[in-house]
Amino acid sequence: MSVDLLEPSLKRLRAALDLLEAAMERRARQEGAKGDAQEELALMQDDRARLAVELDSALDRNRGLLAANIEAGRRVEKASAAIREILERRLATAPE
């Protein structure tokens, strides 16, 4: 068998090997991208969990501040009423 007869077969074999190599490279890139996507998803899930904890904490602080604000308002109103009462008594007993 001469080299001339083998040349087309070798050419087809090289082309097939090139296609196989290209397919393997594509597959490796896809696997890498899949791994990157899974890693990114895990990071996002961790961030979500951390943000949920921070949100719960912020909501608890907000409720505490709201309760303190209501109590402060009650105390200011009570003090204002006491001051008004004192001023009214003073005005009522003040000499004219």
> Across the chain, what does the average pLDDT equal?
91
pLDDT tens-digit series, residues 32-52: 888 888 889 999 999 999 999
pTM, full prediction: 0.52
Percent of the chain with pLDDT over 90: 68
The reported pLDDT for the residue numbered 42 is 92
pLDDT higher than threshold 90 for residue 77: yes
The reported pLDDT for the residue numbered 79 is 98
Q: Interior CA angle at 51 toward 46 and 54, to 5°? A: 130
Q: What is the DSSP letter of 60?
A: H
